[in-house]
Amino acid sequence: MKHIAMWPVLLLFLTGIETGCKKKKEFNQESAQSCVDARMVQGENDEVVKDINIAIMEDFLLRGRGTSQPAQVAATSLCGVTLDTTKVTSGILTMLYNGNNCYGRTRTGSVKLTILNYPLAKWKNTGTVVRIEFNKYKMVRSSDGKSVEINGTEEMKNLSGNTWFELWYMSQPSVVDQVSGTELNVKFDNTATAIFSFDRKLTYTYSNNVTTCRVEGMASQGGKNNVENWGQTRDGNVFTSQVVESPVWKSECGAMAPLSGQVWVKEEGKDFDLKCFFGVKSDGTASAENCPFGFRTEWSRKKRTNTRVFGYY
């Protein structure tokens, strides 16, 4: 009878060993893919938001200047973009990405922006909201053929008032936007799919012909604050991406390549966080270059820490 009574204890002991071995294997085989995916999606989202701010800046009707100015040609300084301005008098503009190679990236698909409550609301007004609709927006990286496609809807709110026109040409100290969206569909490399939701504050400043952006997470998800995005990974696991130190990027390097910042990605079922440090050299050490190589990801379990370094481009 004594031996029979020991079976539950032995079973718990063996189960503990099996679970520990599984966790150790997961730790050793971790690829940090969810961190890589989050950076790619966030970078592309910021690039589109940057395009929208420039497109509105270049259109006096949308940004809020007087209508006495002469009619303008449907042109833009944006690389690889053609504008559909047929509904601009209703506050609607569609950016058509034509597949041209721009700085090592090709983009196709379209993004439609609609200024809500236009023309009573213009983008320069504090509190104005722009609805952003991604329609098969796809970026392909020339260096390795990696791609990401985004479909879905989000909103951008003008928290500060004024536009990039005032930022660039009228010494406006900063412009602040909040970008939020729920369950956008994301496809990686034409096969793997994920779900991303966003709630981020973007603060822009401008100096010496360079636009700088500082990113903050605005949501609370999974018991964490300062979360910038959350959803399901390409493996179907729930994740959160928490801003620990605000990522900062500059227009000379692009939104996909932050110069600094730290984000922690927590994935369901894993007993460690992926700690992503932006702005490093190829050896993983901090970079002082204007456009750094990439970012370093660390994850720790017990007394061990593993590290991988990924390039931005």
pLDDT in tens, 114-171: 999 999 999 999 999 999 999 999 999 999 999 999 999 999 999 999 999 999 999 9
Same domain assignment for residues 18 and 53 = no
Q: What percent of the chain has pLDDT over 70?
A: 88
At 165 the pLDDT is 95
Measured between alpha carbons, how far is 217 from 182 in angstroms, rounded to an integer?
15
Same domain assignment for residues 126 and 24 = no
- Indicate whether 227 pLDDT > 80: yes
Same domain assignment for residues 137 and 5 = no
Same domain assignment for residues 112 and 14 = no
Same domain assignment for residues 19 and 95 = no
Structural domain including 195 reads 31-311
Convert 5-43 into a string of H (helix), E (strand) and C (coil): HHHHHHHHHHHHHHHHHHHHHHHHHCCCHHHHHHHHHHH
Same domain assignment for residues 76 and 225 = yes
Same domain assignment for residues 25 and 168 = no
Same domain assignment for residues 18 and 146 = no
Same domain assignment for residues 233 and 278 = yes
Same domain assignment for residues 177 and 127 = yes
- Domains in the chain, number: 2
Same domain assignment for residues 44 and 191 = yes
Same domain assignment for residues 2 and 123 = no
Tokens of 214: 């500082």
| H-state helical runs in 124-198 | 164-169
261, 242 contact by CB (below 8 A): no
Q: What is the mean pLDDT of the chain?
A: 90
- Which range (4-18, 43-57, 214-228, 295-309) has the least confidence? 4-18
pTM value is 0.89
